[in-house]
């Protein structure tokens, strides 16, 4: 059975004229200006507004048959108004002028009943982006449904043929997305740009006797030409599922732990959470007052590069219009800067770092070792390929999570393992990084190779 989902909003004449979006960027900027004008007329001392459009298509197949075809066409506007130090926020999916006016009115009514907050307000005008570089983020993909189905089928077939023990499939999917937005505020800032993101993924199940395992793989890019080939994605998914069959056990021990590249980015995410403004001003981070101090191993160097062409997390400005800049975040293990938006910066007596909304392309410097070299460097220990649960205490840094992966002996994978727990403390783990591989994945906002930690506690869950 084929299920078709369609989520659409009304479109205007531009669709009939061949435009991919129902509004042009100039029209979105005009709507943003209208919202700011409505806010000023309502008595707001300042305001900011974002108007956005989105177009998407997703096709999925399972066991050689088309399963779902999904389309979406969304639009929306969000507005934040300030009455001095009082703040109100509202949003709508209706871009008619009356709806915009009503939404502004709702935001103003909310602001009048909120408590004063001396730290709220627009970003400092001096920090706003003056120039908007073209970062080559928009590459629409004219893939038809039939073509997408064919790609998904090739991907799934490659996964099912990867190993004779692949017994079932959770399917393969091909997705494409395009977005367009405009952000404006009362400082006179009004800018936006289109972007795109496309993906291909596959998940299958392997079975041998009473052992059954699943795994997946995916690829993502701004430009469809930079996606991995469907057959390669499927083959990887199938091989990953089959290699996990017939897991063994490990005794409780303290050994080196290697986080595979797709999971290593999660360790970096914990770092970012710990040095982000919200955690810092709430004093809910294990890295309080760490600026200029050694927080990671001296081999670790991390740069934030917001202006990488076609980067998955590239942006010329953040969610408040603050200009983004390349910077060193970690140098030889020493913390060089925090991740701050305007509100958290004011709470901390600092300036925004252009990170309202998150980080932009964190690049972790690789070492000389490839994946096999990391295994040899580890000798005997645990390779982690899956993490379960949320046992991370960001206040203390205590880390304890369910895991699965492979036991490694003499630098060679010996057998798969599951139902184990790995434990440590993030502050100690960061300083115990002894190698970062050159097997870098570019699948998100953090690009890192596999990360080898000198020692953690590994315990069997059986």
Give the separation between CA 418 and CA 428, rounded to whole angstroms: 24
pLDDT of 19 reads 55
Residue by residue, DSSP assigns 266-310 as HHHHHHHHHTBHHHHHTT--TTTT-TTSB-S-TT--EEE-TT-TT
Nearest CA to 279 among 390, 387, 393?
393
pLDDT over 50 at 13, yes or no: no
Place of tokens 């943003």: 32
Q: What residues contact residue 169 under an 8 Å CB cut-off, 6+ apart? A: 62, 63, 156, 159, 160, 202, 203, 204, 205
Better-scored residue on pLDDT, 341 or 389: 341
Q: What is the tens place of the pLDDT at every residue in 279-321? A: 999 999 999 999 999 999 999 999 999 999 999 999 999 999 9
Q: What is the tens place of the pLDDT at every residue in 28-71? A: 999 999 999 999 999 999 999 999 999 999 999 999 999 999 99
Give the separation between CA 166 and CA 453, rounded to whole angstroms: 33
pLDDT over 80 at 188, yes or no: yes
What predicted TM-score, i.e. pTM, was given to this entire model? 0.91
3-state class of 265 per DSSP?
helix
Q: Give the chain's domains with CATH numbers.
A: 3-235 (3.30.2290.10), 246-266+366-460 (no CATH)
pLDDT of 12 reads 34
86 φ, ψ (degrees, to nearest 5):
-110, 140
| Cβ 315 vs Cβ 376: under 8 Å | no
pLDDT of 353 reads 97
């Amino acid at each position: 059975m084929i299920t078709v989902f369609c989520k659409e909003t009304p479109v205007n004449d531009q669709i009939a004229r061949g435009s991919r979006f129902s509004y042009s960027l100039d029209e979105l900027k005009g709507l943003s200006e209208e919202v700011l004008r409505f806010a000023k007329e309502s008595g707001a001392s300042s305001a900011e507004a974002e108007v956005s459009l989105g177009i998407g298509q997703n096709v999925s197949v399972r066991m050689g048959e088309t399963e779902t075809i999904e389309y979406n066409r969304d639009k929306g506007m969000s507005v934040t108004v300030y009455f001095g130090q009082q703040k109100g926020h509202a949003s709508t999916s209706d871009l008619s002028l009356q709806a915009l006016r009503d939404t502004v009115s709702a935001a103003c009514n909310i602001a009048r009943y909120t408590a004063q907050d001396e730290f709220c307000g627009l970003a400092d005008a001096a920090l706003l982006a003056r120039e908007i570089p073209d970062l080559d983020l928009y590459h629409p993909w004219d893939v038809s449904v039939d073509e997408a189905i064919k790609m998904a089928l090739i991907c799934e077939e490659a996964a099912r043929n990867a190993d004779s023990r692949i017994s079932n499939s959770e399917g393969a999917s091909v997705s494409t997305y395009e977005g367009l937005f405009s952000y404006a505020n009362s400082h006179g800032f009004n800018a936006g740009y289109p972007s795109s993101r496309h993906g291909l993924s596959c998940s299958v199940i392997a079975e041998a006797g009473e052992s059954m395992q699943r795994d997946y793989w995916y690829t993502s890019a701004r430009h469809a030409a930079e996606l991995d080939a469907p057959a390669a994605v499927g083959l990887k998914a199938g091989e990953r599922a089959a290699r996990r069959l017939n897991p063994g056990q490990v005794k409780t021990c303290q050994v080196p732990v290697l986080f595979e590249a797709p999971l290593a980015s999660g360790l970096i995410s914990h770092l970012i959470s710990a040095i982000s403004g919200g955690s810092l001003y709430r004093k809910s981070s294990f890295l309080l007052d760490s600026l200029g101090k050694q927080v990671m191993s001296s081999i670790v160097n991390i740069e934030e590069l917001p202006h990488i062409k076609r980067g998955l997390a590239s942006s010329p400005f953040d969610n408040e219009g603050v200009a983004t800049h390349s910077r060193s975040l970690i140098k030889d293990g020493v913390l060089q800067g925090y991740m701050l938006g305007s509100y958290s910066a004011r709470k901390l007596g600092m300036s925004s770092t252009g990170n309202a909304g998150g980080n932009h392309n964190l690049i972790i410097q690789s070492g000389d070792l490839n994946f096999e070299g990391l295994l040899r460097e580890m000798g005997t220990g645990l390779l982690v390929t899956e993490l379960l649960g949320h046992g991370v205490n960001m206040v203390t840094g205590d880390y304890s999570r369910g895991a699965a992966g492979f036991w490694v002996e003499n630098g060679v994978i010996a057998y798969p393992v599951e139902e184990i727990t790995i434990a440590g403390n993030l502050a100690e783990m960061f300083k115990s990084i002894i190698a970062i591989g050159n097997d870098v994945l570019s699948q998100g906002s953090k690009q890192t190779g596999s990360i080898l930690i000198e020692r953690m506690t590994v315990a069997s869950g059986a």
